Structure 1
Amino acid sequence: MYNSREFKAIRWPWVECTPFLSGWLLLFIIAHTDYLHANESERTQPPSPINEASLEDWKQKKNEGWACYNLGRAYHLGTHGVKQDPAKAVSFYEIGAKANYAKAQSNLGYCYATGFGVEKNAQKAAQWYRLAAAQGDRFAQMNHASHLVKEAFKTKNQDMLLEAMDWYLKAHYQDETLTGAAYGIGLIYSKLEPTDPQNTNLAKRWFGLAAADEHPDAQFAMGYIEEGLGNGKEAYNWYKLAKAKGSHSALFNLGRCYENGFGIAQNIKLAEENYRMAALGGHPESQYALGLLIYNDSSSEVDFREVFMWWNLAKKNGLSSADEALRKLESSRLISSEGMAAARDAAANFTPKRFQPKQIPSFNRDVALSSAERQTHAEAGFFVSRDGWLITSPKALSIDQQTRKLETGYGIKIITEAGTFPITDSIYIHPDENIAALKISGEFHPLPLLDNDGPVKETSMFAISLDSPKNDHFSPRTLKGEVEKATNRLGEPVFTLNTAEIPNSMSNFLLFNTLGHATGFASTVEKRGAKKLDAVKSSEIYKFIKSSIPEIKLETNKTEGQPSEVALIDRARQATAMVVVYRK
């Protein structure tokens, strides 16, 4: 603890105490920054012509969600030969968001949250984050969780904290490099009531995961926990790491460690140095502490003017103890009226200087698949319900033929354009046709299944699949063809679509008509150069799914009128997913 040292008899007795675990310092304040899809490559774009993405490609397809997202991102960041234009970025994000493209929804939420190109609107930000999070966008899941945490702290709502933890866990499952998710989980465990050793240990575990990846708030939290346990050296070391990553709170606590000799030899000069760095960055507690250090060792009005300035800044930044200190200093004979006026002017003209931390090298991780997973097979799958049921071929699912369950040592994950999901229910397999049904959690946009058993009336039809999914590419590709009339008979469970030569790199196909209704499913074509798809009719798929999962709510919202071909393909893309089987 530190106490003032009286320098002149005219000073009033001043004893100011800074407690280590109470008072100014709030436990684990979230300094949350909304996350943006900014540095990702365009790996979610359609096949080869778009892989070498250019602005013109996107402009030609600006009615499709993915293209609008890329245009918004270009104007957001000022890339691909255009100048940064926040308003244009928002307008393209809005088009993509309304087309249910998750990344556009996520970035539109970011714009509303930060006031980029649009007036700040927390309610609209939360709305778009929530929609994108439900589709699996990991950045939206992070942002949605963080905003839930803030609201939960305000309202002391434990259920909201648990909901936020669920979103953080989903984001961390998708991408272990999202250290903010690990930090958020640790934060929630630290605040759950009633406090118990198990939650404290879990908080420390998650903070440790984030701290190991150099997350400054997590490093600070680890130091704070160690400080509470009386482990001064460990606390000092964690604060030093957090300081190197730019944490003002860590600078403040390092100042306290040096001032009080906690975990390190007492050194008032180094205490002042750390307080000053944080104070210059606008940290109110450091501004107050720095003023108190100077006051305790001051001998002239020049010193007291600096004290008055720092306490004015701390008061302006919401620190109540600074207000009381200012009143005492104002009523003393230590500083003149002119000195106080000059100090107030200096505070009014103060501009925070961003603390530039020492750069610590970081290491790379495999974002696509965690180090514990190894992809063995990937094929296309297609959503049939809004709550996450999808169909695929069972051939590559490593199913035990006797138990009808996944073989030991294998796992399945589903990748969409928005994110990655584990399966959450049993796997159902058609006894005769090559169809399997799986489920993930979230909200998705399937094409409605035609449930009648009549002949296929349309001559023109489309088929969507993934190009080269085995290479972990999410690249939807569409073919167009005509139905063979000879196979179009009432009661037949299959029909044939004649199309252009089908690339061997495509796996599984969802067929749909010009109204945007799913009409059939075809498994992977194994014959090189094939030009025909033998598809199971949607009515057969409908019967299989309803008999296997009676409670399922299949998409039946049929399209009225005939949408454009661009709109059709965009809807089909949203209904497409990648089914990945991996060894654990």
Structure 2
Amino acid sequence: MPFSIRPLPSIAFRLPITLVLWIICLTMPAWADFKAGVDAYHRGDYATALRELRPLAEQGDHSAQFFLGVCYANGYGVPKNLELALQWYRLSSDQGNWLAQNDLGVMYQNGDGVVQDYEEAARLYRLGANKGYMVAQSNLAAMYYKGRGVRQDIREAFRLETLAAEQNFALAQRMLGLRYMDGTDIAQDYVQAHKWLNLSAAQGDEDARIFRDELAKEMTLDQIAEAQKLARGWTPKGK
């Protein structure tokens, strides 16, 4: 689903597959077998990747189950099949895999292969968010901003978005910067807005760069210097 800039959306987000695979490699006990599957994936050899990973998934490994969910959801090496994607995501999610919990939440939020259910999406996002997963935190923040599946709570939304941004999640940094710039839900603060947009832009977010440059036209040189100093001194937190 395309991401629009304004109005501030409540779009659900998944991590790029390359970053997802890297995270899984860090969390999976049978890392050698999984690494063989990941290496095959990077070569574009999806048949080998699935051959390595499917037995692990069938043996109950939640990381491999999540990967199969990704493959079926996107048609990587197999025909796209949302029913099977849901099956593997659920198996992984039920074992506490926060990546699966987030992506399953995305499917419920968007109505992909299931009846759209904002409450279930928010529940799943919360599971991942409570484990400190930045993408789930950002997705849950969007639900709180819009009051979808939860009672609207701007303060909680801002808290969650900040947690995600502090973990160096570029999308959350951009959204936080826009909220500081807009000043509708929180006190307007151009210095903080510039800082967060700058951090997001540094990760390649072109929309954040555009907003930062437009914002700079409304700021004094001292404000810009302060924002740049804050960005240079910033370090990520959490997972």
What band does the TM-score fall into relative to the shorter chain? 0.7 to 0.9
Q: Deviations over 1:197-241 (max 9, x none)?
A: x71110110111110100010111110110110311110000001
Structure 2 matches for 1:545-584, cutoff 5 A?
none
Cross-structure match for 2:39: 147
Distance, in Å, in 2 between the alignment partners of 1:299 and 1:224 is 25
Distance, in Å, in 2 between the alignment partners of 1:310 and 1:350 is 10
Label 1:278 to 1:345 Cα distance change in 2 as closer, same or farther (>3 A): same
Distance, in Å, in 1 between the alignment partners of 2:179 and 2:88 is 36
Cross-structure match for 1:204: 86
| Bigger fraction of residues in helix | 2
Are the aligned partners of 1:305 and 1:342 in contact in 2 as well (CA < 8 Å)? yes
Tell me the CA shift for residue 273 of structure 1: 0.5
Are the aligned partners of 1:315 and 1:323 in contact in 2 as well (CA < 8 Å)? yes
Q: Choose from 262, 265, 274 the match for 2:148.
A: 262
Residues 1:32 and 2:49 are matched in the alignment: no
Q: Deviations over 1:411-448 (max 9, x none)?
A: xxxxxxxxxxxxxxxxxxxxxxxxxxxxxxxxxxxxxx
Residues 1:217 and 2:102 are matched in the alignment: no
Cross-structure match for 2:169: 283
Distance, in Å, in 1 between the alignment partners of 2:160 and 2:129 is 9
Further displaced range: 293-302 or 319-328? 293-302
Number of residue pairs the alignment of both structures matches: 228
Q: Choose from 234, 240, 244 the match for 2:126.
A: 240
Distance, in Å, in 2 between the alignment partners of 1:185 and 1:300 is 41
Q: Choose from 195, 198, 205 the match for 1:319.
A: 205
Percent identity between the aligned chains? 22
Structure 2 matches for 1:285-304, cutoff 5 A?
285-297=171-183, 303-304=189-190
Distance, in Å, in 1 between the alignment partners of 2:54 and 2:64 is 7
Alignment gaps of 5+ in structure 2: none
Cross-structure match for 1:344: 228
Q: Deviations over 1:243-287 (max 9, x none)?
A: 122210000001110111111122111110100011111111111
Residues 1:354 and 2:238 are matched in the alignment: yes
Letter in 2 for 1:205: Q
Distance, in Å, in 2 between the alignment partners of 1:36 and 1:260 is 33
Label 1:272 to 1:300 Cα distance change in 2 as closer, same or farther (>3 A): closer
Residues 1:170 and 2:170 are matched in the alignment: no
Distance, in Å, in 2 between the alignment partners of 1:308 and 1:265 is 30
Structure 2 matches for 1:360-379, cutoff 5 A?
none
Letter in 2 for 1:187: V
Q: Deviations over 1:131-155 (max 9, x none)?
A: xxxxxxx432211212333454xxx
Structure 2 matches for 1:45-56, cutoff 5 A?
none
Distance, in Å, in 1 between the alignment partners of 2:163 and 2:128 is 14
In the superposition, the TM-score normalised over structure 2's length comes to 0.85
Residues 1:227 and 2:109 are matched in the alignment: yes
Distance, in Å, in 1 between the alignment partners of 2:48 and 2:77 is 17
Tell me the CA shift for residue 20 of structure 1: 2.0
RMSD: 2.8
Label 1:149 to 1:261 Cα distance change in 2 as closer, same or farther (>3 A): farther
In the superposition, the TM-score normalised over structure 1's length comes to 0.36
Q: Deviations over 1:306-335 (max 9, x none)?
A: 111000111112211100101110122xx2
| Bigger fraction of residues in strand | 1
Letter in 2 for 1:216: W
Are the aligned partners of 1:311 and 1:323 in contact in 2 as well (CA < 8 Å)? yes
Q: Deviations over 1:61-86 (max 9, x none)?
A: xxxxxxxxxxxxxxxxxxxxxxxxxx
Are the aligned partners of 1:259 and 1:271 in contact in 2 as well (CA < 8 Å)? yes
Secondary structure of 2:9's match? coil
Label 1:242 to 1:299 Cα distance change in 2 as closer, same or farther (>3 A): closer
Structure 2 matches for 1:414-563, cutoff 5 A?
none
Label 1:189 to 1:15 Cα distance change in 2 as closer, same or farther (>3 A): closer
Tell me the CA shift for residue 16 of structure 1: 4.1
Distance, in Å, in 1 between the alignment partners of 2:27 and 2:194 is 40
Letter in 2 for 1:273: R
Distance, in Å, in 1 between the alignment partners of 2:27 and 2:138 is 29
Distance, in Å, in 1 between the alignment partners of 2:132 and 2:57 is 23
Are the aligned partners of 1:233 and 1:263 in contact in 2 as well (CA < 8 Å)? yes
Secondary structure of 2:176's match? helix
Tell me the CA shift for residue 195 of structure 1: 9.3
Label 1:37 to 1:301 Cα distance change in 2 as closer, same or farther (>3 A): closer
